[in-house]
Structure 1
């Protein structure tokens, strides 16, 4: 009996010790923590460091483009950086600039003043009309700046080109001192532009176009964007010279134009009054950029649009009547500058 109790006691002791050891192990054995990997913040370590913002007399500038120029993105600032100054807070440029940005200045619009030099200055600086620049006709080397390029000038008015409206918001305007044409004579006799003026306009336009990456399709006449009410800069302005000698603006390829002209001559007169043919011409004008609504009729709006087109691309004849040559030029331009 005593032996039996001894064996039972010994078994209980062994079991108790084993249990305590297990408890000990379970109590002190550290569990391997499951660590979720932290998201790695994106850094710019692989990118070239951003150029510093320059500071001149407390005014900040950033004149380097670090964005993707192929997407028409551009971070360069052609003027001081304008920043908010919220009361009680500090605006910092730790992450300036973001690469996803471009210029608001998308168009260059050319005008004539229809006034002499002194009156042009007065009207454009003291009345409810303005332009960013004024090219005088005094034979000197000066070009007058009247409005900051970062601000809207009141030069385009009610206007449109392709899908864009109110081009004051997105354009730079150049006014050129020129008499235009005299009113009340019954016929329009436009005044020529001096060689000095043309050289000034070319140099100024080239600078603006280059800085803001303005495409050829967006270098336009006031008449192009408002054909129902404007004629400037008129048929005497040398668009072809600017294209040939300075690579400014649009012009058609002669070979393409000739091909369309040869085709148009075959039955142009026969189809001239056909509403579907008229509708097709109006659609082609609209496709190129003009704000004309296709109606299938030779209405006044269409005539003025054709006139504006001829001022720009066929200045030898600007009667507002569509003929085979004007039609051929329009088609050649649509081929060369197709909307993408």
Structure 2
């Protein structure tokens, strides 16, 4: 694993590791790791000098990079950042037309090497983070609709990752983590987690 901190990592809010009970699986919806890095380095929140990023990134061939220390709150999913770890899998998703209503299929499979690296990371996190209990996809937590880029009268899902080709059955069979239940999602949203 390569530790490759984002330039603004130290500006992200600190948190105790005992606060982390959730892993959120994402896909980058970008063509490669270098493009994801460029996006992650962008400052999107001038007041704090930070941007959007996961904690770990896993490339298609299974290379793992940590961009944000788990003791810091990364901005990767609305309403759940303070309690979660974000894991980004390099996958094109709907790129480059994320919100075009005619391009909502996510057709790139996740290679075995990438999933094996994810399972290894989840095993390590399960040991290192004593409160870790849950796992969810970004699509499970951010269910908002937005106007389609090609037709504002049509609504599309803001987030669909990791998408229909993510091997949930394989991942859940290999980890002690449980898929986040609907009631727990509502409770987190009600508490107003960052």
**Shared topology, TM-score over 0.5?**
yes
Change (3 A) 1:200 1:123: same
Q: Residue 204 of structure 1 corresponds to which residue in structure 2?
A: 121
**Unmatched runs of 5 consecutive residues or more in structure 2:** 1-15, 44-50, 145-157, 188-194
Preserved CA contact (<8 Å) 2:17 2:70: no
Preserved CA contact (<8 Å) 1:222 1:231: yes
Preserved CA contact (<8 Å) 1:147 1:153: yes
Q: In the alignment, does 2:167 pair up with 1:238?
A: yes
From the CA coordinates, give the structure whose radius of gyration is larger.
1
Which of 75, 97, 104 in structure 2 is aligned with 1:188? 104
**Unmatched runs of 5 consecutive residues or more in structure 1:** 1-100, 160-166, 252-284, 292-340
Return the offset for 1:231: 1.3
Return the offset for 1:205: 1.4
Which of 150, 153, 159 in structure 1 is aligned with 2:74? 153
Change (3 A) 1:151 1:176: same
Q: Residue 137 of structure 2 corresponds to which residue in structure 1?
A: 221
- Distance across 2 between alignment mates of 1:214 and 1:240: 23
Q: Residue 179 of structure 2 corresponds to which residue in structure 1?
A: 250
**RMSD (CA atoms):** 2.6
- Distance across 2 between alignment mates of 1:145 and 1:192: 23
Change (3 A) 1:116 1:145: same
Return the offset for 1:126: 3.4
- Distance across 2 between alignment mates of 1:102 and 1:186: 42
Using CA pairs under 8 Å that are at least 6 residues apart, name the structure with larger relative contact order, 1 or 2.
2
Q: Residue 119 of structure 1 corresponds to which residue in structure 2?
A: 35
* 3-state DSSP of counterpart to 1:209: helix
Change (3 A) 1:129 1:289: closer
Q: Residue 58 of structure 2 corresponds to which residue in structure 1?
A: 135
Q: In the alignment, does 2:105 pair up with 1:105?
A: no
* Superimposed CA distance per residue, residues 89-139 of structure 1 (whole angstroms, 9 cap, x where no aligned partner): xxxxxxxxxxxx9712221111111002220121123342111111112x2
Alignment coverage as a number of residue pairs: 148
Preserved CA contact (<8 Å) 1:224 1:290: no
Q: Which runs of 4+ in 1 moved over 4 A?
A: none
Preserved CA contact (<8 Å) 1:242 1:249: no
Return the offset for 1:290: 4.6
Change (3 A) 1:103 1:245: closer
- Distance across 1 between alignment mates of 2:38 and 2:103: 28
More helix by share: 1
TM-score by length of 2: 0.66
Change (3 A) 1:214 1:224: farther
- Distance across 2 between alignment mates of 1:102 and 1:114: 28
